Structure 1
Amino acid sequence: MIQKNNLRFSILVVFLINFILLCVHTSSAQQKRKILIKKADILISEEWQDTTVNLLRGNVILEHEGALMYCDSAFLYEQLNSFDAFGNIHINVSDTLNLFGDVLFYDGNTRIAEVHYNVRLIDKTTTLYTQHLFYDRNLEIGHYPDSGRIVDKDNTLTSRNGYYFSRPREYRFRENVVLQNPDYILVTDTLDYDTKTRIAYVKGPSTITGKERYVYAEDGWYDTQNEIVSLKTHVFMRNKDRTLKADSVFYNDKIS
């Protein structure tokens, strides 16, 4: 009987220790996720519908898990762990990634930022311009649902909607995609663009129109920096008075 009681007591102790550790871990995690006020010229706190609302004005800086967020004014909802910000929005996501706009809705629980109006996403050599951008800090993916323009040193690319993957620094463009370069215009419905290598990958009916050449294909890639082209599937080329039909084509624009 004594042994059974000791066993029960040991199990109870282990359960209580695990429960306490879980509570401490949960509390620590929740505290870590809390949005912090770093700076504001004016701070007014009020209670509204079971949550504390902080009205922040003037040189506002908020911080959440390593990201600094700047604005002219904001409403911070403490219990909801979210805020609405207005005017001169700037999110410093990382050393190389900065996001700007006029209005920001940020949820500290999901780590998703909605930036609206005059949006600019700047990452080293490229800048994305759009009116609405949703950025998921967990997945490090940005999505614009309606019309965007991306500009780098040599190219301007527009599309109806698209995605930006910040870790590999790649864009995926969908619908009405147009890539413009001083030497050609590429039109397609699906294009992936690697900002590091400046290679554009196309899938589906695509055309490349240059000063003296017209190209049609349904699969392939174009190295915009070195002007190397690899195309396949129903390839058709017209260059001055010559035409070519093939299953696949590989050529260098600099020497062809």
Structure 2
Amino acid sequence: MYLINSNGEDMRNFYVLAAVLEYIEENICEDFTLQMVADHCAVSLSGLHKLFGYAFGYSIKDYIAKRRHSLACSDLINSKLSVLEIAVKYRYNSQEVFVRAFTRLRGITPSAYRNNPYLSNLFPKIELNNGGNDMRKVDISDMYDEIKKLRGSYVLCSDIVHFKQINDNFGFSVGDIVLAKTAQRIDSCIDDNMIFFRIGRDEFAVLTGFTDEGKAIELAKRITDLNSHELEINEHKVLLNLRVGVTKIPDQGLSYSEILNSMLDSIEKARSEKASYCVSY
């Protein structure tokens, strides 16, 4: 992991989200509570709700329901399971409950969907708005698949230097504009096919798709090269500086605790050596 003046909290949030998505995926057909998810990821339940809301704009309950629905759609097309068996598999209380929920989301019954899968394109998906200029969107139910597909590639995690002081000195209205300007700055530097979303109060993640470490670092530098530019907001001059960390999505699994420990070790090393860059594998 290369580090460009990052405090590690933004990367921690990314790995918490990755661990949440993986836990849900592994237990999607099981009966589990949100507290169990929080315990698995070593975060408080309230913190987990807040982080998930920042990143996706949806509650964890909504995500689980949407993900189960998405997988049920896949089973309707790609398996010979009956509608009842699919309802039981994805923890619906009854076939009737499943049919009602499915019809509410898709506008057609599961049986009609199975017989006419092309109709699925007529009904909008729940989308994740990343906040960028071109409003690139990702279906929230596909986030786990996207991260899994990008294993072995690099992620950029960034936050705003002294964001609390900006809010304290100039007010939250200015802070909100700074957040929007941050999203615009990052968005202006990344490619259209990259997934970009918020992972905390002032923290953002970019799934670059790069497997070349050098390209990921080059992109991080492109973003930080725009530092020290003053913004004039509501007659206030605000310095917008970003910290960007570059880390790799593991090829095998998303072990949050192991990755976090390695990441924090490398950050501590950078601090002790007063270095701008550090690397950890």
The verdict on a shared fold, with TM-score over 0.5 as the criterion, is no
Query: What TM-score, normalized to structure 1?
Result: 0.25
Query: What TM-score, normalized to structure 2?
Result: 0.23
Tell me which protein shows more helix as a share of its residues: 2
Tell me which protein shows more strand as a share of its residues: 1
Of the two structures, which has the highest relative contact order with CA contacts closer than 8 Å and spacing of 6 or more? Answer: 2
